[in-house]
Amino acid sequence: MTRAASAGLLLAAGGGSRLGVPKALVELVGTLLLSPEYDVRHRCFLLAVAVLNELPSVTITRAALRLTEILADPDRTLVDPESWDALSKWVDYAQASHVPDDHGQGSRIRLRRSVMASVVLEVAWREHPTIRETLLTWLGRLCEHPDQAVRIKAAHAIGRLATYDFDVIDGEFLRRWSVSRRTRDHWLAAWAIEAALLSPHVAPRLLNRLRIRRRTGRCAG
């Protein structure tokens, strides 16, 4: 995939800072993630749509269920009768829409406001610290997905998390990917850095690291 195509996916996912984002949207996201009216499956679906915005509905739904499984009590039954008719409710809850696919791959799910993707990720990370480790585990697994489009979006999400908590994301992903022997990991690092560079606070640190690494041929702090 070309860099231009990758950047397009990043923009579609709502990459960037919250500068200029309406306060009402931030409050809406906070309400969606906290309201007792919605269970954990709704919240996991919202996170999955935020990370994988515009991918096929099957891909997003599976990712949401995987996140639910990671969060769930191992003795709890995950699939109950309510789940059979939940998708339309989940899509509406996530402020998203079904978009027909012209290539016979079923429908896609698209946020009605693409900027909501980065707001959901930021509010979840900043306001819900108890799910941070779960979120990192889930995103790490998505980065191993066989579909490159999923890997790109997961890496972009990790890059956006770096703009909120750089040292944590750097230690968990960026350094490991940068020194890996796998070409796939180098791509993941590049995609994550691509997203993180949109932050004026993180960009200077990353650019300095890249300059040092270019001169010395090794990862710099």
Mean pLDDT calculated for residue range 158-185: 95
- State yes or no: pLDDT of 4 exceeds 50: no
Structural domain count, the chain: 1
Tell me the pLDDT tens digit for each residue of 23-75. Answer: 999 999 999 999 888 889 999 999 999 999 999 999 999 999 999 999 875 54
The full 3-state SS of the chain, as one line of letters, equals CCHHHHHHHHHHCCCCCCCCCCHHHHHHHHHHHHCCCCCHHHHHHHHHHHHHCCCEHHHHHHHHHHHHHHHCCCCCCCCCHHHHHCHHHHHHHCCEEEECCCCCCCCEEEECCCCHHHHHHHHHHHHCHHHHHHHHHHHHHHCCCCCHHHHHHHHHHHHHHHCCCHHHHHHHHHHHHHHCCCHHHHHHHHHHHHHHCCCCCCHHHHHHHHHHHHHHCCCCC
pLDDT at 211: 83
Mean pLDDT calculated for residue range 75-89: 56
Let me know if residue 190 belongs to a domain: yes
Let me know if residue 52 belongs to a domain: yes
pLDDT at 148: 97
Let me know if residue 111 belongs to a domain: yes
CA distances to 70, 72, 189 from 79, rounded to whole Å, are 14, 11, 35
- State yes or no: pLDDT of 8 exceeds 50: no
Predicted TM-score (pTM) of this structure: 0.83
- State yes or no: pLDDT of 201 exceeds 60: yes
Let me know if residue 33 belongs to a domain: yes
Tell me the pLDDT tens digit for each residue of 103-142. Answer: 766 789 999 999 999 999 999 999 999 999 999 999 999 9
Let me know if residue 13 belongs to a domain: yes
- Name the percent of the chain lying above pLDDT 90: 64
Let me know if residue 53 belongs to a domain: yes
Local confidence band at 11 (pLDDT 50, 70, 90 cut-offs): very low
pLDDT at 83: 52
> Range of 70's domain?
3-74+81-213
- State yes or no: pLDDT of 86 exceeds 50: yes
- Pick the range with the lowest mean pLDDT from 75-79, 99-103, 110-114, 147-151: 75-79
Let me know if residue 88 belongs to a domain: yes
- State yes or no: pLDDT of 16 exceeds 60: no
Let me know if residue 55 belongs to a domain: yes
